[in-house]
Structure 1
Amino acid sequence: MFDFRKLRIWQEGYALTLQVYKLTRSFPRDELFGLTGQMRRAANSVPHNIAEGCGRNSRPELLRFIVIAMGSASELESETLVAQGLGFLETEMAEKLLNDIQRLRKMLAAYYQKVHAAPGPATRPSSQAPKLPSPHS
């Protein structure tokens, strides 16, 4: 078990979640329980599953939660494409979000491989927890 806040993948997932909340504020009100909610849940799922996996005392459990986070990132990518197709996101905003999601998915896959290949217990990051951006910025 180690501090998930030290992982760059968690930091990126956290930042992505804040980005999704900000972008979905402008979605139509009738989408609050539709696409808005789905995108927010998928975005939230990424850092929360990383955190939960880090909280387990088992490499197989950590790997399982990383796979779930990758699935949530893929779901968010699909939902972003739908939001763009419906005109809820301007092309520039959608492309930035899609690029950020794809980058995070690659980072998750690399971390999965690192943990899977590492001998002994799951690798512990050594740096201190970062100062996180405010959800209101």
Structure 2
Amino acid sequence: MHRFKQLEVWKKSRAFCKHIYKITILFPESEKFGLVNQLRRASVSVPSNIAEGASRKSNKDFARFLEIAIGSCYEMETQIILSNDLGFIDKKTCKLVLEDLETIIKMTSKFKSTLK
């Protein structure tokens, strides 16, 4: 078992989640049950799956949860791009958020590869 609170990828994904919450506060009220909900749920999913996977006894199980976290990252990537397309976030914010997300994807993928 791993101590998830000590994992840099968990810390970074948790901070990213907080950032998503701050960004989506500015979305239109009509998106409360649309993109806001989807983005927030996917952002919470990443550190949550890292934490849940860390509790597993085998590295194979942990790797499976990291794969789910990566899937949530790609889900968010699409939602962030759509948010920019719809004018809910500007180009600069979109670029910065996607760069942070790419870092999390790379960190998670690299960590996952060490579990084999």
Sort the TM-score into its range (normalised by shorter chain). Answer: over 0.9
Partner of 1:29: 29
Aligned letter for 2:29? R
- Once the 2 structures are TM-superposed, how far is the Cα of residue 57 of structure 1 from its aligned partner? 1.2
Q: How many equivalent residue pairs?
A: 116
Give the gaps of 5 or more residues in structure 2. none
Aligned letter for 2:56? R
Give the gaps of 5 or more residues in structure 1. 117-137
Root mean square deviation of aligned Cα: 0.7
Partner of 1:72: 72
- Report Cα offsets for 1:13-64 as digits up to 9, x if no partner: 0011000000000000010110000000111110000000001112111000
What TM-score do the two structures reach when normalised by structure 2? 0.97
- The 2-side partners of 1:2 and 1:104 are apart by 18
Partner of 1:12: 12
* Rg comparison, structure with higher value: 1
Partner of 2:115: 115
* Greater share of residues in helix: 2
1:68-107 aligned at under 5 Å gives the runs 68-107=68-107
- Once the 2 structures are TM-superposed, how far is the Cα of residue 2 of structure 1 from its aligned partner? 2.8
SS for the counterpart of 2:2 is: coil
1:125-136 aligned at under 5 Å gives the runs none
SS for the counterpart of 1:2 is: coil
- In the TM superposition, structure 1's runs of 4+ consecutive aligned residues that sit over 3 Å from their partners are none
Q: Percent identity?
A: 37
